[in-house]
């Protein structure tokens, strides 16, 4: 396995849709908000929701939903890099408050239970609500998510990796 890392091929270059420049590394595929924020009408987005690049809270009449932005990494088996997704995850009130309070302190090694709150279009079966562990990292890095055991293709891809060809297909589809 050690030797395979040395002989993996480098990925293709991609033109960034944000800055317009060519980058040699694969772009991350990210969501700007949890799907439940996207589903709100414009009035509710301003009146009952609070969102930043790392946190989202939606205050409904009967409940409050809390979300944090995380990363999911899928190994690319035949390349020297990974495919990263920026995904929103829901947390309980207690976990959200604890995570948010310690967010700026860069506490590493905490684990929270969460559920994926984005629909990843690369999968036929819905990714909404998939159970994950949220593992905090230090140095201002967003937490990584580790999916719970399940028969979903996302979990299979996370465990076994995907090909560079598949990663490039997903990126091209996302930037259409």
Give the residue extent of every domain in the chain. 2-29+70-174
pLDDT above 60: residue 138:
yes
- Compare 15 and 153 and report the one with higher pLDDT: 153
Q: Where are the beta strands (DSSP E) in the chain?
A: 14-15, 22-23, 29-30, 49-51, 55-59, 64-75, 82-90, 111-116, 131-135, 144-147
Question: Over the stretch 68-120, which tens digit does the pLDDT of each residue have?
Answer: 999 999 999 998 889 999 999 999 999 999 999 888 776 788 999 999 999 99
pTM over 0.95, yes/no: no
Nearest 10 degrees: Cα torsion 166, 169, 171, 174:
-130
pLDDT at res. 175: 74
């Amino acid at each position: 396995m050690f030797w395979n890392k040395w002989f993996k091929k480098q990925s293709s270059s991609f033109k960034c849709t944000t800055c317009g420049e060519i980058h040699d590394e694969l772009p991350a595929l990210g969501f700007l908000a949890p799907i439940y924020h996207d589903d709100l009408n414009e009035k509710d987005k301003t009146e009952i929701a609070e969102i930043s690049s790392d946190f989202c809270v939606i205050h409904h009449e009967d409940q409050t939903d809390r979300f944090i932005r995380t990363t999911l990494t899928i190994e690319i088996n035949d390349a020297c890099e990974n495919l990263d997704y920026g995904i929103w995850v829901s947390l309980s009130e207690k976990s959200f408050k604890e995570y948010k309070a310690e967010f700026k302190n860069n506490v590493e090694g905490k684990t929270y239970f969460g559920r994926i709150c984005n629909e990843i279009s690369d999968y036929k079966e819905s990714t909404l609500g998939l159970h994950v562990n949220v593992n905090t990292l230090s140095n201002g890095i967003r937490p990584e998510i580790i999916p719970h055991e399940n028969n979903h293709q996302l979990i299979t891809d996370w465990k076994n990796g995907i090909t560079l060809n598949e990663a490039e297909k997903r990126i091209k589809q996302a930037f259409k």
